[in-house]
Amino acid sequence: MKVTVVGAGAVGATTADNIIRRNIAEEVILLDIKKGFAEGKAQDMSQTAALLGFESKITGVTNDYSATAGSSVAVITSGIPRKPGMTREELIGTNANIVKTVVENLVKHSPDIIILIVSNPMDTMTYLALKSSGLPKNRIIGMGGALDSARFKYQIGQKLNAAATDLNAIVIGGHGDTTMIPLIQHATWNSVRVSELLSDDEQADIVQKTMVGGATLTSLIGTSAWYAPGAAAAAMVESIVRNQGKLFTASVYLEGEFGHEDIALGVPVIINNKGWDRIVPMSLSEDEKELLNKSADAVRKMNQVLSD
Ligand code: NAI
């Protein structure tokens, strides 16, 4: 299978690196607009094959979409990241133009492609990609909830001194500091409810730290994070390419599910070789529904900017 990663910056390169190291796809095309940038990163990564022992091939190209022809999956990471003090929403103008053009070019060369959107503000970019491409809704997937859920598990693991892999916990809603909803009442450690093991204050602290997880890293590093975002995108690509049917929170187009429509919002979905195959229903409390409504309102407002 062939996978294209657009944007050879921090997140794109890390995504590609994870894909080739784990032989998820036989062929990876890394594309960037900056001359020579993707070529250089791809060569550097290729030179790790002898050391790490993988067979995947990676080729870097400068804005040459003909090289992406026949891709089964593309991950779009092109755009600008946020700087300390910026919200994801402030990136909208620049990234909307980039994402729209990139999607058009990808679809032209790979009409059956499944597209994973990473560029921020991700829910709005996912909505834009769907509306501008006219692709079936199942083939446009926004990556954000998978990362936020991994960060949520990290915070719970820190409090319980537990392995993140033993935790079951998801974040739904928009992929923004104030729009994401870490579902602490649903979180379990093996089959024990986390809420039975931690005080209210400890639970509130986990939720708060998860919501500012990205911003915390941005202020520490000076730009937004890439290791966990790249790992999250690669895990979703793997579920598509290997038809694993894994459950992720992903931003997908809703048509009444969870009480919302005409919006891309983070909900639990099964991901396989069809893209997102189906939305997994959950029973939410009245408080959680209220939070989801507020989150959807904020994302809708952001989507409105696209038509202003
Ligand atoms: P970066 O600045 O390191 O890389 C972006 C790359 O995109 C650059 O190499 C740039 O040359 C390239 N680019 C710009 N316009 C392009 C175009 N038209 N065609 C092809 N390439 C183009 O940024 P980073 O840190 O990799 O972040 C990328 C995006 O991902 C940002 O919008 C960031 O906010 C977002 N992000 C989203 C996450 C999520 O969970 N959804 C998590 C982390 C970052």
Per DSSP (E only), the strands in 63-208 are 73-76, 114-117, 140-142, 167-168, 171-173, 180-182, 188-189, 192-193
3-state SS assignment for residue 168: strand
143 lines ligand 1 (CB under 6 A): yes
ipTM of the complex: 0.99
119 lines ligand 1 (CB under 6 A): yes
The pLDDT profile of the chain, 308 residues, written as one tens digit per residue, is: 999 999 999 999 999 999 999 999 999 999 999 999 999 999 999 999 999 999 999 999 999 999 999 999 999 999 988 788 888 778 888 899 999 999 999 999 999 999 999 999 999 999 999 999 999 999 999 999 999 999 999 999 999 999 999 999 999 999 999 999 999 999 999 999 999 999 999 999 999 999 999 999 999 999 999 999 999 999 999 999 999 999 999 999 999 999 999 999 999 999 999 999 999 999 999 999 999 999 999 999 999 988 76
Question: Residue 5 corresponds to which tokens in the numbers above?
Answer: 């990663």
Taking each continuous run of H as one helix and of E as one strand, the counts in the chain are 11, 14
Q: Whose CA is nearest to atom 33 of ligand 1?
A: 81
Q: How far is the CA of 281 from the centre of ligand 1 (A)?
A: 32
Q: Rounded to the nearest 5°, which phi and psi values hold at 279?
A: -90, 135
The model carries a pTM of 0.97
User: What is the C-alpha R_g of the chain?
Assistant: 19
Q: How far is the CA of 13 from the centre of ligand 1 (A)?
A: 10
Write out the DSSP string of 33-92: SSTTHHHHHHHHHHTTHHHHT---EEEEEES-GGGGTT-SEEEE--SPPPPTT--GGGGH
142 lines ligand 1 (CB under 6 A): no
Task: Report, as residue numbers or ranges, the catalytic residues.
Answer: 175
The span from the first CA to the last CA of the chain, in angstroms, equals: 39
12 lines ligand 1 (CB under 6 A): yes
